[in-house]
C-alpha cells in the first residue's frame, strides 16, 4: 500500500509538471475561472434591463402621457413614438421589444367608466425578457390608470397587505446566481477536458510506452491523473470564488467553503474518471472534443444549474439522478447560496460518493483494457 501511494504521488507530480509545461491549458484554466466567470455574470442577465419600447398614440391625452412617463430606465429605455404602419416592420427588424398602441378617446373612455383596450405587442424571441417585461408594463399601466381615475397619486390601498421577502438574493440580482453557477459548470467542463487531455497527451508524446514498461499499475496511473488535475481545478475554483465572485463582483457566499471543497473533491473523482473513460475511446484531441461536447452539454444544461429540475419532465428528472452533476449542483447551491450545513447536504454527498465509485470502477476497467491492448 505504501508503494502504491508513493507511485501515485510521484506520477501525480509528473502530471502537474506536464500541465505546467503546457501553456495552452494554463491559459484555458485562467480564462475559464476569471474572464469567463466575470463576462458571463455581468453580461448574461436574466432580469429585464434596457428593454426597448415604442408606442402609437392615437389619443395624445394626459393619461397616455402619464403612462409613458412612468416607463423609466433602467428597466426600460425611454418610449419612442412610431407610426401605426411601422409597427410590423420595426418588430420584424428587432428594433423594439415592446410596442404599445393607445386607441382614440382612450382617456375619455376611462373617465366614462368604459373599458378601452390598449394593445401591447411583444417580441417573445427572448422569452424571459418578454414575459417579465410584459408583466412590468401591465403593472405600470394599471397603477397609473388607477391613480388617474382616483385623482390621488398615493399608492392605492389594497384589501390585503402582501409582504414579499426574497430569501438568499434580496435584490433578485442575476449576477449572484450566474457567477457561482459559472464556476460550478466550469468545474465539470475542465475536469473532463483536463484528464482526457492528459491521457491523450501521453499518446501523442509517446510517453504512454514509458508508463507501460514501468512497474506501475493502471490504477496508479489513473488515480495520479485524477488527483493532479483535480488539485489544479480545485485551487482555481476556490481562487475564482474568492477573487472574482466575492471580491470583484461583490457576491456574498453564505456557506462553508471547506464543506464546498470537500464535496467538490468527491465530485471530481466521478467527472475526472468520466474524462479518462471518454479518452479511452479516442486517439486524438479532436476526436475527444467531439465525443466530450455532447456529454458536457447534457450534463450542464440538465443538471439544474440553468433551469430548475422541477421544470423538467418527471422522466427526465429521474434519468438525470444518475448524473453526478445533478447532485453536485444541488449540493453547491445549498451551501453557497443558502448557507446549508452538513445536516442538509449529506444525502447529496452520499449519492456523489456512490456515483464517484461507480464511475471510477467503470473507467478503471476500460483504462486497464486500453493499457493491455497497447502492450
Domain boundaries, the chain: 2-44+173-374, 53-150
pLDDT category of residue 65 using cuts at 50, 70 and 90? very high
For residue 7, the model assigns a pLDDT of 81
- Say yes or no to pLDDT of 211 above 70: no
Residue 77 burial (CB count, 10 A): 18
For residue 247, the model assigns a pLDDT of 93
- Say yes or no to pLDDT of 202 above 70: yes
Tell me the pTM.
0.81
Read off the C-alpha cell for 252: 456574498
Q: Residue range 22-26: average pLDDT?
A: 85
Instruction: Look up the CATH superfamily of 53-150.
Output: abc type-2 transporter like domain (3.40.1710.10)
pLDDT category of residue 156 using cuts at 50, 70 and 90? low
Q: Residue range 272-277: average pLDDT?
A: 88
Contacts of 313 (CB under 8 A, 6+ apart): none
Q: Which helix (H) or strand (E) holds 370?
A: helix 342-374
Percent of the chain's residues with pLDDT above 90: 44
For residue 161, the model assigns a pLDDT of 77
pLDDT category of residue 201 using cuts at 50, 70 and 90? confident
Q: Residue range 20-44: average pLDDT?
A: 88
Q: Which of 115-124, 147-156, 173-182 is least confident?
A: 147-156
For residue 16, the model assigns a pLDDT of 87
Three-class DSSP category at 305: coil
Mean pLDDT of the chain: 87
Torsion region of 339: left, alpha or beta (phi above 0 gives left; psi -120 to 50 gives alpha):
left
For residue 233, the model assigns a pLDDT of 93
Instruction: Report which of residues 279 and 218 the model is more confident about.
Output: 279
Query: Rounded to an integer, what distance in angstroms lies between the CA atom of residue 228 and that of residue 197?
Result: 13
- Say yes or no to pLDDT of 251 above 60: yes
For residues 174, 321, 33, 291, the Cα torsion angle rounded to the nearest 10 degrees is -120
For residue 359, the model assigns a pLDDT of 87
Per residue in 303-362, pLDDT (tens digit) is: 888 888 888 899 999 999 989 999 999 999 999 999 999 999 999 999 999 998 998 888
For residue 249, the model assigns a pLDDT of 92
Per residue in 99-116, pLDDT (tens digit) is: 999 999 999 999 998 889
- DSSP code string of 118-141: -EEEE-TTSHHHHHHHHHHHHHHH
- Say yes or no to pLDDT of 374 above 60: no
- Say yes or no to pLDDT of 209 above 70: no
- Say yes or no to pLDDT of 188 above 60: yes
Amino acid at each position: 500500500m505504501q508503494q502504491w501511494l508513493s507511485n501515485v504521488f510521484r506520477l501525480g507530480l509528473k502530471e502537474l509538471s506536464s500541465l505546467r509545461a503546457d501553456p495552452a491549458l494554463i491559459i484555458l484554466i485562467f480564462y475559464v475561472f476569471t474572464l469567463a466567470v466575470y463576462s458571463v455574470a455581468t453580461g448574461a442577465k436574466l432580469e429585464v434591463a434596457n428593454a426597448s419600447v415604442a408606442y402609437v398614440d392615437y389619443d395624445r391625452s394626459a393619461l397616455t402621457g402619464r403612462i409613458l412617463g412612468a416607463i423609466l430606465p433602467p428597466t426600460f429605455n425611454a418610449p419612442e413614438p412610431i407610426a401605426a404602419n411601422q409597427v410590423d416592420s420595426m418588430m420584424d427588424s428587432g428594433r423594439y421589444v415592446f410596442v404599445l398602441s393607445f386607441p382614440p378617446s382612450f382617456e375619455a373612455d376611462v373617465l366614462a367608466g368604459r373599458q378601452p383596450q390598449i394593445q401591447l405587442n411583444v417580441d417573445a424571441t427572448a422569452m424571459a425578457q418578454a414575459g417579465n417585461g410584459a408583466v412590468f408594463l401591465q403593472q405600470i399601466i394599471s397603477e397609473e390608470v388607477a391613480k388617474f381615475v382616483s385623482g390621488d397619486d398615493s399608492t392605492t390601498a389594497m384589501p390585503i397587505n402582501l409582504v414579499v421577502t426574497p430569501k438568499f438574493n434580496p435584490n433578485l440580482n442575476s449576477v449572484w446566481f450566474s457567477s457561482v453557477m459559472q464556476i460550478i459548470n466550469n468545474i465539470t467542463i475542465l475536469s473532463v477536458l483536463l484528464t482526457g487531455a492528459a491521457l491523450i497527451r501521453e499518446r501523442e508524446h509517446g510517453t504512454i510506452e514509458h508508463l507501460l514498461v514501468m512497474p506501475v499499475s493502471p490504477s496508479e496511473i489513473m488515480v495520479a491523473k485524477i488527483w493532479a488535475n483535480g488539485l489544479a481545478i480545485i485551487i482555481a475554483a476556490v481562487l475564482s470564488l474568492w477573487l472574482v465572485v466575492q471580491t470583484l463582483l461583490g457576491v456574498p457566499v453564505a456557506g462553508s467553503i471547506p464543506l464546498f471543497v470537500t464535496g467538490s473533491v468527491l465530485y471530481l473523482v466521478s467527472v475526472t474518471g468520466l474524462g479518462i473513460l471518454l479518452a479511452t475511446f479516442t486517439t486524438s484531441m479532436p476526436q475527444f472534443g467531439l465525443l466530450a461536447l455532447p456529454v458536457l452539454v447534457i450534463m450542464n444544461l440538465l443538471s439544474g444549474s440553468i433551469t430548475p429540475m422541477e421544470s423538467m419532465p418527471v422522466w427526465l428528472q429521474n434519468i438525470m439522478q444518475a448524473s453526478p452533476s445533478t447532485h453536485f449542483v444541488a449540493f453547491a447551491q445549498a451551501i453557497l447560496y443558502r448557507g446549508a450545513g452538513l445536516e442538509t447536504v449529506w444525502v447529496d454527498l452520499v449519492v456523489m460518493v456512490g456515483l464517484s465509485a461507480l464511475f471510477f470502477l467503470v473507467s478503471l476497467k476500460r483504462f486497464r483494457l486500453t493499457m493491455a491492448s497497447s502492450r
